[in-house]
Amino acid sequence: MTTDDISGMGPLVARLSRGGQRLRHADRTHPWVLDTAVVVLIFLMFCLPDLIHGGADDGDGPRRFRLAFTQLPVAGLLALQVGLVLPLLWRRRKPAAAFAAITAVFVLQWLLGAALRADVALFVALYSLALHGRLRQLPWACAAMAGAMVLVAVRVSSAVSVGDALFFLLSTATAALALGLMVRIRRAQLAGLRERAARLEVERDQRSRLATATERTRVAREMHDIVGHNLSVIITLADAGAYATDIAPARGKEALQLIGDTGRQALGELRRVLGVLRETADGPPDTPELSPQPGIADIEALCAKVRAAGLEVVYRTSGDVDTLDSGVQLTVYRIVQEALTNTLKHADSGTRVHLAILVEDSRLSIRVLDAGPATSSEPPNEEGHGLVGMRERAALYGGTVSAGPAGGGGWSVEAVLDLTPGSGGDR
């Protein structure tokens, strides 16, 4: 076979495949059509010739073979044919019952000494039982089939040796049984593949939804940190500027400048966060111009803004904080930012805040303590989103966050991160 012949078979195979799919769909919709067609086909090919010629014993075969069988009247012949062929209508819905009925008629027929071409129905019933029936029914079906074949071999022993007859008959029965089992296994494999494909599709959709939910949580956390902190600073500066305008206009002007700087920084951070969500319909997303994520080096500028808003911040670090990876540094920055924002919201102006970041081997500690009385507090049995966000960020690095009243007044926030390699996770 040449390459052109092989390539030319492609459309033919495609048409045959589509035709097979249409037939399977029609069979699922109207199962009786195929069963009836099988019965009609067997009747036309195997029953009608016997009715016309008076039985399978007529023909051009050896005379001794023809004389070994009994000549039945047309009514008896037709009754046996109906008993052999009609149960095939239930060969798929009740394969065991159909096989048992056909076997009974088959044995009766050979006990009467008649030979019919319609006996092929017994092999069709065995095939259907192997394909559609319960596997535990096959042993007794095979035993009944073997017994029926022995009966046939004995009845034709005058014309054919018992061994040759048994070999032919049992080979045919084995072929029918093997074909049914092969088709059954193939269908089971295809069903398993379809089920696995459906399961993988469900898992893929679940992973996609989980990734979307995770990304939404991350963006919401970033937005909370950016908007919450900067708005708190802006509100505090605006109140202080309004108060200082009449007393010290220079301080009022300075507060307005700080408000502008803080607003511009917040706007830049919002653009950075929302830039990754921007999509274009004409092609791949535009690459946003991003500024670096804030880290520990930016905490000093953060403290300067808080000082300008009216708090006194004492900031110190211990250990090699500059060598920490960017993910840890961002987590530290956001936790400090949230803690200072809460202090700015709830503490009196002029409150002293002690901020310490300590790195010891594989452990990083953050402590934010304000020493003054709070003007307001969180509800006693309710955690704000800020504390939840801090705990989520710390959990990415196997850490914990605790917050509560400090001894002697004020409020304390403590966070501990695990810097052991492999303990961190992607944000």
Burial class (CB in 10 A: 0-12, 13-18, 19+), 279: exposed
What average pLDDT does the segment 412-419 reach?
A: 90
pLDDT value at position 12? Answer: 72
Q: Name the pLDDT band for 384 (thresholds 50, 70, 90).
A: low
Helix (H) or strand (E) holding 151: helix 138-155
Tell me the C-alpha distance between 350 and 348, whole Å: 6
Tell me the C-alpha distance between 289 and 21, whole Å: 53
Tell me the C-alpha distance between 402 and 416, whole Å: 9
pLDDT in tens, 335-356: 998 888 888 777 777 788 999 9
Helices then strands, each counted (H, E), the chain: 13, 5
Contact 380, 390 (CB under 8 A): no
Contact 341, 386 (CB under 8 A): yes
pLDDT in tens, 79-92: 998 999 999 999 88
At 189, is the secondary structure helix, strand, or coil? helix
Among the ranges 23-27, 270-274, 358-362, which has the highest mean pLDDT value? 358-362
pLDDT in tens, 290-320: 556 788 888 998 888 888 877 888 999 988 8
Contact 417, 343 (CB under 8 A): no
If you compute the radius of gyration of the chain from its CA atoms, what whole number of angstroms results? 44
Q: Rounded mean pLDDT of the chain?
A: 79
DSSP codes of every residue in 348-393: PTT-EEEEEEEEETTEEEEEEEE-S-BS----TT---HHHHHHHHH
Contact 122, 176 (CB under 8 A): no
pLDDT value at position 54? Answer: 60
User: Order of strands across the sheet with 400-405?
Assistant: 312-318, 352-360, 363-370, 411-418, 400-405
Tell me the C-alpha distance between 414 and 57, whole Å: 101
What average pLDDT does the segment 8-28 reach?
A: 69
Tell me the C-alpha distance between 353 and 94, whole Å: 84
pLDDT in tens, 169-224: 999 999 999 999 999 999 899 889 989 988 888 888 888 788 777 767 766 777 76
What average pLDDT does the segment 361-365 reach?
A: 88
Q: Is 361 left (phi over 0), alpha (psi -120 to 50) or beta?
A: left
Contact 80, 114 (CB under 8 A): yes
pLDDT in tens, 226-268: 666 677 777 777 777 776 676 777 767 777 777 777 777 777 6
Residue 135 has pLDDT above 70, yes or no: yes
Q: Which of 416, 295, 305 is nearest to 356 (CA)?
A: 416
Burial class (CB in 10 A: 0-12, 13-18, 19+), 280: exposed
Give the sign of the dihedral formed by CA 380, CA 382, CA 383, CA 385: negative
At 284, is the secondary structure helix, strand, or coil? coil
pLDDT value at position 255? Answer: 72
At 405, is the secondary structure helix, strand, or coil? strand
What average pLDDT does the segment 380-388 reach?
A: 57
Residue owning tokens 């078979």: 9
pLDDT value at position 13? Answer: 67
pLDDT value at position 11? Answer: 73
Tell me the C-alpha distance between 394 and 179, whole Å: 63
pLDDT value at position 357? Answer: 93
